[in-house]
Amino acid sequence: MKTEEWINDNRMRFDSGFKEFDRQTRIISTGNLVAGTQISSYIRAYNDVKTSVGTTVPKGELQDFDLNGFRNLPYYVREYIKKMGRFIPDQKFILYEFYHHLGKKGSKRTITDGWVLTDKEYKLITYWITGPTWKSRLAVEEAIKYITE
């Protein structure tokens, strides 16, 4: 895992070659995070059936709940995770969305550059580049260095 280098108390150095993404990035980190260019969350295993309050739900329901926390999750990414969950039912994941913003403050558009899936030990499982240009690949592949072993 690549070690963060801090420019100041509020910003790490991030140099992917995608200047707009780099400028908007304050931190890239593992686990649950909402930041300027990253949203990430733990995804419970398919076999997890106990909620935090002790009730029991059907297999896969908590995994679905966790995936529903991502507003722009493509269908094929969701289905990949669900199939992996049924194939390896006790596997927990971390899902990362990397994005940047276009436009001025009042009319910002969010562009998702890609998705990364790791296991809970930060081992890379797979990733998807979804951004509109080759620069998205630069940003996501550099971010992977900070979140995987």
Note the pLDDT tens digit of each residue in 32-75: 999 999 999 999 999 999 998 989 999 999 999 999 999 899 99
pLDDT above 70: residue 148: yes
Specify if 1 maps to a domain.
Answer: no
- What is the spatial distance between Cα 66 and Cα 74, in angstroms, rounded to a whole number? 14
Which DSSP state fits 106? G
Those residues whose C-beta lies under 8 Å from the C-beta of residue 45, and which sit 6 or more positions away, are 63, 85, 89, 90, 91, 92
Domain count, the chain: 1
Domain assignment of residue 79, yes or no = yes
The answer on pLDDT for 117 being more than 90 is yes
Domain region containing 116: 6-147
The verdict on residue 142 lying in a domain is yes
Would you state the pLDDT for residue 108? 81
pLDDT of residue 70: 95
Rounded to two decimals, what is the model's pTM?
Answer: 0.94
Q: Is residue 93 part of a domain?
A: yes
pLDDT exceeds 70 at position 106: no
